Amino acid sequence: MITIKRLRCFVAVAEEGHFNQAAERLGMSQPPLTEHIRILEQTLGCRLFDRTTRAIKLTVEGQTLLDHARFLLTEVERTQEVVRVSERARPPVLKIGLLHAHTYTFFPSLLRAFVGQHPYLDVQLVEYSTSGQLDTILSASVDVGFVREPLNHPGIDVQTLFTEPYVLAIPSVLKTRLEVDVSILQEQSIIGYPSHDDRRSTRSLFRDFLSQYNVRPRAWREATTMHSALALVSANLGIAPVPQSQSTLRLQGVLYRSIKQTPPTLSVGLARRRDADNPLEDLFSCFAIEYFKR
């Protein structure tokens, strides 16, 4: 078989005129070099060298092969260089993690502004749940990630970006003002959803909040996602507390109302691994922090 390695061996022997010197040039011992030449001659069905006790000379067939082999090796080097240039030309990748709810609230406008300033970047998105946000960031599946706080781990740094109040998603059959008293939840079914931190689940937050005003719900229901919670609200099966930013999601049969009393809040942060050393993370983190200061 004719291989690139055997052609390199052949060219080295032809140019050095001696097997020992060719082997030294190639950084190998003489026996395997001699074997490569033997296999090459066997494959081509001709002698490539005339050997004497003092030196070796190319045969006519060897001289013909030398010109062609040099051309092929030059093309191989050019091919390698083309691949290296292509690799250098590939845009740098920034992987951003986010919760599903972020995709239809604050994130689209933030991403649009960031890409407008840095169009050369290849931005890739990875979605996760609140229960999976920590593992995703620790596993380096993303460079930075938007998270629901609190998120405490010795290997992660979290920068709080904004804090927002909860509002109520109510069935449209309830005729209310734009701001409602917490008493609207008296004897109502409250629909919540789980959190990575039991102390910050909807049920935990609102149980403590409602107890301050002696409001007792009829029942607590738990949905797995925001969309399923809102579907239950639309069907007049209860009222769901949701972060204010998510009130931009319009569903038939659902209205959003602010709470007259000071409601519980939710914080969103930007998390990254402490051992990470990626300048793109710094670039995006600084941008996001400034973006939410506006």
- Per-residue pLDDT tens listing for the chain (294 residues): 889 899 999 999 999 888 889 888 888 898 999 999 999 999 999 999 988 767 788 999 989 999 899 988 888 888 877 777 666 667 889 999 999 889 989 999 999 999 999 998 999 999 998 888 999 999 999 999 999 998 889 999 999 999 999 999 999 999 899 999 999 999 999 998 877 666 767 888 898 899 999 999 999 998 888 888 999 999 999 999 999 998 988 899 999 999 999 999 999 999 999 988 888 999 999 999 999 988
Element (H, E) at 39: helix 30-44
Element (H, E) at 4: helix 4-16
Residue 89: its pLDDT value, please?
Answer: 63
CB atoms under 10 Å from CB of 147, counted, come to 26
Residue 107: its pLDDT value, please?
Answer: 96
Concatenate the DSSP letters of all residues of 115-179 into one string.
HHH-TTSEEEEEEE-TTTHHHHHHTTS-SEEEEESP---TTEEEEEEEEEEEEEEEETTS---SE
